[in-house]
Amino acid sequence: MDIDNKHDLEQARVRSKARVADFLRALDPVIDQRDDRIATDLAHENSSSRTKLRKIYALLGDVSKAAASHVPCGKGCSACCKMNISITSLEAERLAAVTGRRMVGLRHSVVQPEKKFSGVPCPFLVDDECSVYEDRPYACRAHFSFDVTSYWCQPERAYEGGMGQLGLGGANKAYLDIATGTSMRGFADIRDFFPAN
């Protein structure tokens, strides 16, 4: 990386962290409190993992609506769909059910190298649009770019790191609790469940 790109990257890091802070200051306190409580609430709730996952998705939907004016993410912006996307077996089953696509049943977590799928489109990406948007997994729902453009989201630059990210501690813990409670007890990449034909 040349000097100008390093300088641009540092500026993007500072800018994106400031934009996350701005977003958090503007976030409805009710949504923030829901995130704070969701892991504990769901841990004490007598409901299925699918029901709990829907509640986590609902919270992320409200966060996404609130973040819309703070992020460059939008329809047709698909850079984050061309990198590793870790999902649970429960989410893979959900995607198989809504698409009719056959999934590979995995018994154990699969840990892929960080850049294994860099530049490889998600199997559900069609013409740079998510074909399962309403049913997309947690990783997709919780991923936001807080820079002003998608430049640093592009697969060839996305792993530079240090960008401002939204930390949803409660939702993340609740999701991890579900993941460890599945028969697979963890994650695999979406392409491990749905390999290319």
73-93, pLDDT tens digit by residue?
Answer: 888 789 999 999 999 999 999
156 pLDDT higher than 90? no
Q: Which domain holds residue 105?
A: 3-193
Question: Average of pLDDT values for 100-122?
Answer: 93
Q: Cβ distance 85 to 189 under 8 Å?
A: yes
Contact partners, residue 112, CB within 8 Å, separation at least 6? 84, 188, 189, 192
Question: Average of pLDDT values for 163-180?
Answer: 92
Percent of the chain with pLDDT over 70: 96
Q: Cβ distance 23 to 166 under 8 Å?
A: yes
Number of domains the chain is built from: 1
Task: Give CB contacts under 8 A, 24+ apart, made by 99-108.
Answer: 99/124, 99/131, 99/132, 101/194, 103/193, 103/194, 104/192, 104/193, 104/194, 104/195, 106/184, 106/188, 106/192, 106/193, 107/183, 107/184, 108/184, 108/185, 108/186
pTM of the model: 0.91
- pLDDT band for position 3 (50/70/90)? very low
Question: Average of pLDDT values for 4-18?
Answer: 84
